[in-house]
Every structure is written in C-alpha cells, then in structure tokens.
Amino acid sequence: METRANHLWVGAVTLILLAALAAFIIWIARLNQGDVNEYDIFYAQSVSGLANGSQVSYAGVPVGQVQTIALSEEDPEFVRVRIRIRDEVPILVGTEATIQASFTGVSTILLDGARGGAPQITCETTACPEGRPVIPPGRGGFGEIVANAPLLLERLATLTEQLNVILGPDNQQQIAGILENSNRLTAELAEAAPRLEGTFAELEFALREAGEALDAFEQATETTDRLLNEEGPALSEELRGTLASANDAAAALAQTLNDARPAAAQLRESTLPAAEATLQDLRRTSRSLRTITEQIETQGAGSLIGGQDLPDYEPEG
C-alpha cells in the first residue's frame, strides 16, 4: 500500500515538473517573441498552401506568422487569415498582403507596398469587422495565374480549335505552296545577289555625284547671291535707263504712226484706185497691140489698110 502511494507521488511530481517545463518553454518563446500585433486579411481567392504557422514576411524579411485560417463570419465567400506581426514592424496604410505560392505547395504571405509618412494601420485608420485591423489583400504573380486559370484554359482551348482550322488539309497544302514559293524566291535572291551588289555600287556612285552636284549648285547659289548683293544696284539702275529709253522709242513710234495715218488713208482712197485703173488700161492696150501684131503676122500689113475681100455672090436663077 505504501509502495503504491510512493508511485503516485512520483507520478504527480513528474507531471507537475513536465507542466512547469512546458510553461517555462512557452514563457521563453513568448519572451523571445516579444509583443505582437494581430491583423486580419480577407481573401476572395483560394488560400491553399497556407496553414497555421505559415511564415509572414515584409519585403522578404520574416516578421511573423499565420495564427488562424477560417471563413469570414460576415461573408463566407471570403477567407479570413489572421496573422501575428512583431510590434516593432511598422504596418502602414498602403500595405498589401500577397499570397506567395510555390510549386512545392508551401505558401507564405508577403507584405509590401507601404509608403513612408503614411499612418499606422489600426482600427482608427481602417475597418475592424472582426476586432482586428484589416490589411487589404494583393495578388502575386502565381496567385494571379491560379485565379485566372479557368479563363486561360478557355482561351487556350479556343486557340487550339482555331489552330486546327488553320492547319486543316486545305490550308496545309496552301502553306506548303507558300513555303515552296519562299524557297524559290530565296534562291532567286541568292542568284541575283552579285547583280544587286553592282546595282548598289552604281547607286552609291550616283548618290555621290548627286551630292557633288548639290554642293556645286549651292556654291553657284552663294556666288549669285553675292553678285546680286554687290552689283545688283548698278544693274537695276541700267535696267531702269534701258526701260526708259524703250518707253521713249515706243512713244516716238506711236507718234510716227499717228502722223502717217492721213497719208495712208489718201493712198488707200485715191492713189491706189487710180493706179488700179491705169493698170487696167495698160492691160487693154497690151491686148489690142497683141491682136494687131498677130493680124500683121498672118494677113500682112495690107490688112490694116483695106478691108477683107467678101466672097462672090451669085444670085439664084
């Protein structure tokens, strides 16, 4: 009986010592951890990969861990993730909590986005629907891919169907023809490469000559400008004198024509008609002389003195 009581006392003392040791370890852990602040994050996406005790880092530096994961009491569509952050870490307005997933299946929460000078996130500066200040959620690269995976799969399926239509038998034949034509064109270009090099050399020479011609034209333009600037006033004065002389000559010619108009009118109205009548008389006289000359040649000079003999007349019986 006494032995049994001793065993009970030993067991009880052992249990008390183990409890004290556990309490001491917890106290040491809390002492090392220091004061902490709790924040809630509400995600409308899957939080697979997160678990109680998952790491929370700020700009890559570990600052806390996940305390609990549960559905939101007000809206079950959201998942509430409560985290604990060391008190000395400033969680400012503008900070976002992004789930950093990995292909190994382990996820962490990354805090980032705060700006210097912003106030601390507290129940006074943000909402506290479940008694803790709320850090707005953010979407990381992998989380964005996971969230948009259904849309990406749908578009991938549509793209696959379109590729099947494009790469059908008819289109494959046409694509083969296009590739054949491309090969032929490439071969022709390779054959024409020497001629193209000669053409490019001639083009380069022509461009160089054109540049020289432009330089010469520019120099001629500068010379012309200098000549006009230096001798322009004298040339202008001579041109004015020439134009004045031309105007005087034109005025004299006009006066001469005005003076000649009466004589021209008299010549047209009297002299020319009389000369024309004289010419007509001369023509008639010339014709008469021609007739007399012909008569003398054929009938002799006597034809001009006596008349022509009449034929004998015999009366009818």
pLDDT digits (tens, 9 = 90+) for 57-112: 998 889 999 999 999 888 888 999 999 999 888 889 889 998 887 667 788 899 98
CA distances from 206 to 154, 166, 213, 314 (A): 59, 48, 10, 114
Average pLDDT rounded to a whole number, residues 13-30: 76
Rounded Cα distance between 73 and 129, Å, is 9
pLDDT of residue 70: 92
For the beta carbon of residue 292, count every other beta carbon within 10 angstroms.
11
Spatial distance between the Cα atoms of 295 and 226, rounded to a whole number of angstroms = 89
- Give the residue, 313 or 111, on which the prediction is more confident: 111
Q: 181 to each of 166, 174, 176, how far by Cα in Å?
A: 19, 10, 9
Percent of the chain residues past pLDDT 90, beyond the cut:
12
Q: What DSSP string runs through 238-288?
A: HHHHHHHHHHHHHHHHHHHHHHHHHHHHHIIIIIHHHHHHHHHHHHHHHHH
Whether residue 266 has pLDDT greater than 70:
no
Name the range with the highest mean pLDDT among 44-48, 189-193, 292-296: 44-48
User: Could you tell me which residue, 11 or 297, shows the higher pLDDT?
Assistant: 11
For 80, residues 6+ apart whose C-beta sits below 8 A from its C-beta are 40, 41, 42, 68, 69, 70, 71, 72, 73, 130
CA 76 to centroid of chain Cα atoms: 51
Share of the chain above pLDDT 70, in %: 67
Q: Residues 82, 132: contact at Cβ < 8 Å? A: yes
pTM of the model: 0.40
In tens, the pLDDT along 164-173 reads: 777 777 777 7
Residue 126 is classified by DSSP as S
Query: Is the pLDDT score of 183 beyond 60?
Result: yes
Q: Specify the pLDDT at position 62.
A: 92
Instruction: Give yes or no for residue 5 having a pLDDT over 70.
Output: no
Query: What pLDDT was estimated at residue 103?
Result: 66
